[in-house]
Structure 1
Amino acid sequence: LECMDLLQVMQNELTCTICMNYFLDPVTLDCGHSFCRPCLFLSWDATQTPMCCPHCRQVSKKSDLKTNTQLRNMASLARQARDDPVDGSQEQICEAHDAAKWVFCDADKNLLCGLCSDSLEHMLHNHRPTQRAAEEFREKLLKRMADLWNMSKQLQNNLKLETCKAESLEEYVDIRKVMIRAEYQKLHQFLCEEERLHLVVMEKEANEYLDKLEESKIRIIQQIENQREMFRELKDMCHKSDVELLQDLGTVMERTELVQNQMPQLVNPDLTSWCSTGLLDMLSRFKVDNVLTAETISQIMSLSEDVRGVLFGNNHHTMPREPQRVRSFAAWGNHTFISGRHYWEVDVPRSSNWVLGVCKDILIRESDFIIDFKESSLLFALKLNDHYYLSTNRPLLVHHVKMPVGKIGVFLDYDKGIVSFHDAADGSLLCSLAPSTFSFPLKPFRCVDAAYWEPSGDVLLMEVTGLIRG
């Protein structure tokens, strides 16, 4: 009786209290309680913080749980001892030899008896006992579950990202309404109808993007649930007997690959910039030629890593870089603006981070320079997740408009403290900075994060090396 009690105790110690089966890939928490890794992951809500022990509710400080190899090996032995290596059911009796099927053929994925495995048909195939084959397939299923779980966490992050985009877009639409109304005040009263139509179309487009973001969130949630369901199915399959596991293997690996390959594409809500009637003609009246061209650049400076980090962020070390070839440059022109209205156009690269605008006279110190962001009006084009975003420093705001191709127009009304940026192709508004009071000379400024920089007229050849700052 004591031996039976001891055996029962040992079996209990090798049993997960969540699924009540022998451990699969067991992990031990800070409190000392152990669980199957799949059971523990499924018991934790994906957004739960902090993670608690399902048994005693103690907070687990470990984020990277290691497999308890001793428990895993003992549970594997107990599972093998539990399963009858020779199933006496009629289905597992070889009709040809009236013998039990206890060998698994890797080539045919079938159970065979000993005589069949030695036959001419199978003698060149790899054979393993069913227990060994089942344990190896359990390991493969556990690895597949780990991949599904990691992808599920990525989907959770994507869900948060899409939710933040939707919230940001709703706030941004209100801000952009103010900018658009201010832009239309520059024109005559007959443009009011065009202004109203522009706002209606923008709101409709924004609502469509919001719908797309909502649909994207639903797809991500559905994909998360599909993966969790597949995860549960693989977990349940792991707990089947060796024979059932191998018989039911079927296309489960193909289905898991299909689920893993269904990663939803994220939505980038870029609103269309409309061209205001007559605006480009009005801006052209104040056009200043040859601004920031090879002939009118008064200073070119290669950026140090510190200055580069301020302008483009400090995550560039994640990109492969060739020493002596990847460079970042700042340039400012010899034009100085102290009054009046001025408009100029500047070529910008299509696949690089860049900064464009006006700033106070720059203080040069050895190989670095100092730029006062409070006294500058700048437009940033920075890359995040293979998508370029426009942002400004006054106010600090991401602008949900499509990235222009080609030249950017800069309009400066020094006396009214207005700086706005336009798509030079049609004069459409990209953004208008908050009005300010200028009491100092302003210089045109451009900075490019590039691998190649060849000033030839006003052409820059570049490659991206930087990432958007946080």
Structure 2
Amino acid sequence: MAAANPLQSLQEEVTCSICLEYYKDPVFTKCAHNFCRSCIAVCPEGSDSGVHCPQCREVCPEGELRPNRQLQSMVELVKQLAVQPGRALEQSLCEKHDEKQKLFCKEDEDLMCVICRESREHRSHTALPIDEAAHEYKGELQACLQSLKEELGDLLESKLKEEEGYKAMMKKLITDKLKMVAEFDGLRQLLKDQEETLLMRLEKMERSIKMAENANEGKYSSKISFISDLIAEMEKKCEQPPLELLKDIRRTLSRCRNATPHLSEGLKKKYKALVTLDPDTAYRSLTVTEHGRRVTRTLDPDTVILDLTLTEDGQYVTRTSTSTRMSLPENPKRFTLRACVLGRTGFNSGRHYWELHLLKDGPWCVGVAQECVSRNGSLSESPERGVWALERKTNGQYEALTSPRFPLSPQQCPVRLGLYLDYEGRRLSFYNADTMEHFYTFTNAAFNTRVYPYFLVGLQTNLRLV
């Protein structure tokens, strides 16, 4: 193989490694490699403002590419000597035969003369004239170069599309971010407004509670003070000699019984009892209806009330029809001489509260009675006979059925009557359920056995449990 020719070395020095042509406007990089300015410009980018060197892959900032004027002058000198790529080697001589090297051996990829072609070493090799071989390889190089340029173009196009995609994604992200920030700002403002509204509402409720608390304090303070003074008076009364103790005793007891504390709505709900009537105990002229919650009495056992209507003037109008009542079965629990009926369930412990609606202004008597109360004889209601009750008489007067009876003067006639039983406390109290006016309280009641709600119904009277 022939040694490298100085002209060949000169050619290589002035040939661009990218386009394989003489340098055109040569520049040198930071890593000291030379390229055509146009060739280095299309190399893949290494960063936002630089390219990769095709030889050492080092990133070369675009601003640091410097023109190589000395190399450009050398290219011009080679051109003046008519030294073109692929042609300079034609002037070289074979060192072995001292003949011009006009042929190119494709197997050895080297130049040779005509004598070398006929030698045993190259006889089996393919040899082409230099111009023809250069043209052939130049065509292959240009085809490869075109393919690489197309691939580079595709890469640059793909890179540009992806960059545009990333930019679109970033733009959408920024838009979504701004939208989210605006929405959360709106939510924060909404929450702030709601917080202020709720705080104002809570402050208003707090003021109302404090006002109610102050009113409640005043209400209970006066009552507590009254009860405390009454206790002191009763204790002093109990210590007096018999003659002094009996003096004006009924008035003193009346003051004590009427000093029952106010029954609050909370206590009413806490101790509310579901009271129903027991038809087996009902007198023959009484009709128990509405699942044991209502009782009516008629003038005649054969007249049954079918309906009850409240008119605009507040009066009750009944629609009646006449029918033959079926004979009631004999029952030892039934009242035979008095229009009475007992509750189905009795009480032998605890506290209980129930109400009844007085649908008529007729006479009635309600309270509690012992289980052993007389059923088949005349009955004079009193604690001694096992009945603790309040009565409304035909003339509209009210009495507590004590011995003797205690007259009452309520501020208004009750429409709903409330009863509060404290079995262990031996107390039974009566209230106007609408105004909670206290009517009377039986104290030290002898509840020795089970007691049942007790109802005596007057003529044309209707009672309904609430």
Pair in the same fold by TM > 0.5: no
Normalising by structure 2, we get a TM-score of 0.32
Structure number, greater radius of gyration: 2
Higher relative contact order (CA 8 A, sep 6+): 1
